[in-house]
Amino acid sequence: MNDLPTPIEVQKFLGGVDYPADRETLLSKAKDSGADAETLKALEGLPDKTFDSPTAVSSAISRD
């Protein structure tokens, strides 16, 4: 079973993020956008690094 949100679900809460962005920036934006617990958990599990695009974020989440 895969409890990960889809890339579309994640990006829905990250709209307007200026890339490159680090994990904390992504989490802050998602929280401000009203992200659900599943999305926040996925973002919290990201490596502590800078992501250069939405695709990089989606790829990192799907590698769980």
pTM of model > 0.95: no
CB atoms within 10 A of CB 16: 7
**If we measure between CA atoms, which residue out of 32, 25, 47, 4 comes closest to residue 13?**
32
> In 3-state terms, what secondary structure has residue 30?
helix
- Predicted confidence at residue 3, as pLDDT, reads 78
Provide the residue ranges of all domains of the chain, joining segments of one domain with +: 7-62
- Predicted confidence at residue 4, as pLDDT, reads 87
Query: How confident is the prediction along the chain (64 residues), in pLDDT tens digits per residue?
Result: 467 899 999 999 999 999 999 999 999 999 999 999 999 999 999 999 999 999 999 999 986 5
- Predicted confidence at residue 2, as pLDDT, reads 60
- Predicted confidence at residue 37, as pLDDT, reads 96
